[in-house]
Structure 1
Amino acid sequence: MVNHPITQQHGTGGGNNPGSSQLTRECDTDNDMQSVSKRLKVKDTEQEISPLEYALHSIRLQRLEESPQPIFISPMAKANLQARDDALFPLMEKIQEFLASEREVMLILGDSGAGKSTINRHLEHQLWTGYKQGGSIPLHINLPAIYNPAQDMIEKQLHNLNLSDEHIHELKECRQLILICDGYDESHLTVNLYNANRLNQLGKWQAKMIISCRSQFLGSDYSNRFVPETTDHHKAIRMDLFQEAVIAPFSERQVEDYVEQYVPLEPRIWVTEDYMRMLTTIPNLMDLVRNPFLLTLALEVLPAITKQKKDFSTIRITRVHLYDTFIVHWLNVNKRRLESNTLSADDRIVFDQLLDAGFITMGIDYSTRLASAIFERQDGNPLVQYIHVQDGNTWKAEFFGMDPEVRLLQESAPLTRSGNHF
């Protein structure tokens, strides 16, 4: 986390701590706190800071704390789906070129598990780290978490960040945003979000949009979902304002770089050389793990898969095998966690019952039923919002309710959580 201490001084005095770059906020008590200008002192330099900048400062610190990734390998990409697989360029550099250009929409395509969300979070962290007062503001939007993103998605996300209506209005009037829209395919969208939100029109939000989508979600003619169009009655598409990139599979060198970052994250019985020997010895495994998601699964389960094996060239591993082995591995880790934790008396009784029934079997059954329910009830949208007072009598309570058995299984399942979203 980046530390930026702020000291508030009320009245006209403003102490300065020699030798530090501590920020000093001075408030004139004779004026309304919402309209008073603030001053920021940094090494004897004083400049006006608006209430909006203070609100953005809080958001910046929050997002810098939340967005860093434990492993990041700078990806390579090609210009579009039709481009040659060997015509590659560094994707992060191409994104920076886009931000400095006159183009307004950049589409990032990639297969399942290619790292689209990781790239988006890394980009947000990079942009907030380099943010300067008055500059373009990065806004990461997880599209599946926004209700009807075709309408006012920016305001909805800013409200999620607890920005006031007054500050939102000020942003709309005089600032430019960099929208980082993640999960177009997971929202099952078909609408052009740039056009639907009327970006860069008179009196509307001024913004550049970076939007990610799974390659398999789109048909052959997908440009109308992303390319800006003119605002006149002709509605002509503006290909000159559009750019795209397709994430390339990892090279063997990138796989090794990933493993080198993975190994030190926690105590392990294997070192980098052990993992690489297995990845290159087991037939077809290196080709299978050339995206971050499948590579992570493989690294998690390889020690168990190869245990007591002498001839590694006879091992056969498929994508399904990786998934299944990972789920069992994940549930075993959480089973050991619960066994060593201090549980309440009620939770301990329920956990013992789950052990008697077969904790791994019960965990797999929970995940299978949840996946089926998501497919049937949400048309495959993988993001579930659960608020107990609102959803306690719905199908969601079977998987996210307050029942001790449900809670223990949910906490042990391979789910991620952000607030009320799973």
Structure 2
Amino acid sequence: MTDEPAGLTVVGIGADGWPGLSGTATAALTSAQVIFGSSRQLALLPPNVEGDRVPWPSPLLPALPGLLDANRGRRLAVLASGDPMLHGIGATLVKLLGAPAVRVVPHPSSVSLAAARLGWPLPETDVLSLVTAPVEELHPLVHPGRKILILSSGAKTPAAVAALLTSRGYGDSTVTILAQLGAPTETTRSGPASSLDLTDVDPLNVVAVACSAGAAPPPQPKPGGVFAAPERSGPRPLVPGLPDAVYESDGQLTKREVRAVTLALLGPQPGELLWDVGAGSGSIAIEWMRTHRDCRAVAVESSAERAGRIVRNAAALGVPKLRVVEGRAPGALAGLPAPDVVFIGGGVTRDGVVDAALAALPAGGRLVANAVTLESEAVLAAWYAKLGGELTRLAVQRAAPVGGFTGWRAMMPVTIWSVTKP
């Protein structure tokens, strides 16, 4: 797009429609030659608003540049739900056109209205949009005593939220469905997640959750030695080093203590992309993404069975957007988006794996590699001699029964090499 529109104003509108708009908002809509919005939003406009009304197509994002180009030179208005910059079309248009080309007239968001109805201070409340995201993204926010406001994708969202809470052992949590906020037809219903009334849910709703947790059962082994973590796994800490039992695994799992040290060396920062090479059960990539909602990761795993297990673990632990690539490094690394950080948990001894990881990193990028065998340890020692960095050996012992007593059972020592690319 080479030219800016003659004028583009994004107007937030609530369920109360035209009467709830400010004078600035009504003036922008009255003077617009073209007005974009959902069919529901466009129907809220009175007859004296004469601009051409264009309903959004589905899917919207691929069609958006063409719609704007086709109406170049005309005064444009875009209707958005509530605050256009809170998970709304306003942020999308600013990203597409630049902030100077977009004027935004906000309206109280449904989040603000819900917090006002419930008396919840927003700085103490987590906000999650499930308009386009899967419900599994709720997992990292579920903690005893926390309050969560969820932007709903429709009438089915409250049921999905209630089912997830119940499966996690949070069935006693109070779930409130606030529908048609700000409209004369506004309604509210509340109840425990495990027994919430889910009949005739209005699709225009916000879901509020006040978390309270019960006890979680221990994980049970499946045939063949695979441990499948139940969804009802109770509270989960925010820091890296989740209990091993929350992962479905065939034993190919970076153990809790080693995982915590490894994540500390990886040093995740918001917006960074991690390659987890030889991902096993996916624990490093998963806990990398759990540190911040903007952390991204690609898990590379050669075993199809393990790749499927990573997908399930990622969903159960709240990071369903983890990208899983089935293939063997270094070949499987070709064509992946450039990483900020690389972790090599398997395949260190394979020719070209460390070389390919280092080549993909930008200057200042970080690489961490773990080794448990003499052969892989020798590879890391050679790279350490060549590039420097830090070389650490970690030995962990866990208490275990010895007859009628308790003794220390040693885990295999792990050698960790970490380096920053010059």
Normalised by the size of structure 2, how large is the TM-score? 0.30
| Greater helix content | 1
Normalised by the size of structure 1, how large is the TM-score? 0.30
Higher relative contact order by CA 8 Å / sep ≥ 6: 1 or 2?
A: 1
| Greater strand content | 2
